[in-house]
Amino acid sequence: MTHTEGKTALVTGASRGIGRAIARRLAADGVWVAVHYGQRKEAAEETVAAIESAGGSAFPVRADLATDGALDTLFVELEAGLAGRPLDILVNNVGVYADPDDPAAMARDDYVAGISEVTPEAFDRIFTVNVRAAFFVTQRALRLMGEGGRIVNISSAVTRIAWPLLPYAMSKGALEMMAPRLANELGSRGITVNTIAPGITDDTQVNSWLHDMPGAVEGVAGMTALRRLGRPADIAAVVSFLVSDEARWVTGQLVDASGGLALAPTPPGM
């Protein structure tokens, strides 16, 4: 048992990919989920509909966390949806790796660009969404969170390997600094704070290149100890554990959920 029946959660960036999988898993565990989205209303509504069709409870909340005033918008909608109930779980999942409002940047695949190709605008957007938003969403969420709350931040294994996505990796490295410090600060309230670092996960927008580049799936699987790509449900399962009562004695930790990505050089022929 996860002991999460009847709890409430806010999952940012929950309209698709890993965020959607987390929202659906928590709802399956009996959690009432606020499905946050920035611009993709239809995708968020699909997530809510999938949760409700499976017998769970959810509602959408919209806020473009790259814009001014987004926090006020988010928490007005969140508090209206909670209808006086406290917030028990926060999952800071939302993240960007380039500027999606710049079609040229996306076409150039800036997420694999070297330092000379990164624009100040893209850099600022990445840090605004991946770091600043997570920090201030957490700050505001703590006003709604009672004793024994759970906070989980979604980072990335690219903070520990020399992969591309330099500004993205830097932003996720900054995010990882939150957990141990907040865990120490919030421990007196029984609130745990942990970080999960997924590896290269299939069925996500950031990794859509896997199926566009010949041999990429096999190559990444070969770099992974468990010899396959990660799936959103793999990450959602770890979140489910960390927000449960079974993980009540785990806080301030970075949990690698990469399937053993890049543990060692892969021998030829394997």
**Cα 22 to Cα 43: distance, rounded to the nearest angstrom:** 15
Give me the pLDDT at residue 110, please: 47
Among candidate residues 37, 97, 111, 168, the one labeled active-site is 168
Residue 72 has pLDDT above 60, yes or no: yes
Q: If you ran DSSP here, which 8-state letter would residue 266 be given?
A: P
CA distance readout (Å), 255 to 51, 195, 252: 26, 6, 10
Give me the pLDDT at residue 236, please: 98
CATH placement of domain 8-96+125-199+232-255: 3.40.50.720
pLDDT tens digits along 6-58: 999 999 999 999 999 999 999 999 999 999 999 899 999 999 999 999 999 99
Nearest partner of 40 among 67, 13, 79, judged by Cα: 13
- Name the pLDDT band for 104 (thresholds 50, 70, 90): very low
pLDDT tens digits along 113-158: 678 888 899 999 999 999 999 999 999 999 999 999 999 999 999 8
Give me the pLDDT at residue 103, please: 47
Residue 108 has pLDDT above 60, yes or no: no
CA distance readout (Å), 117 to 101, 104, 176: 17, 12, 25
The predicted model scores a pTM of 0.91
Give me the pLDDT at residue 11, please: 98
User: Which segments of 38-119 does DSSP mark as H helices, in order?
Assistant: 41-53, 70-82, 103-107
Quote the mean pLDDT of the chain.
Answer: 88
The backbone torsions φ and ψ at residue 11, rounded to the nearest 5 degrees and listed phi first, read -115, 115
Give me the pLDDT at residue 106, please: 44
Residue 67 has pLDDT above 50, yes or no: yes
pLDDT tens digits along 200-256: 876 556 655 555 666 656 667 778 888 888 899 999 999 999 999 999 999 999 999
Rounded CA Rg of the chain: 18
pLDDT tens digits along 179-200: 999 999 999 999 999 999 998 8
Task: Give me the residue spans of the domains in the chain.
Answer: 8-96+125-199+232-255
Asked about 111 being catalytic, the answer comes back as no
**Cα 217 to Cα 180: distance, rounded to the nearest angstrom:** 34
HSE-up of residue 24 (Cα within 13 Å, Cβ side)? 20
SS3 category, 146: strand
Query: Looking at the DSSP assignment, which residues form a beta bridge with residue 153?
Result: 92, 195
The backbone torsions φ and ψ at residue 215, rounded to the nearest 5 degrees and listed phi first, read 85, -5
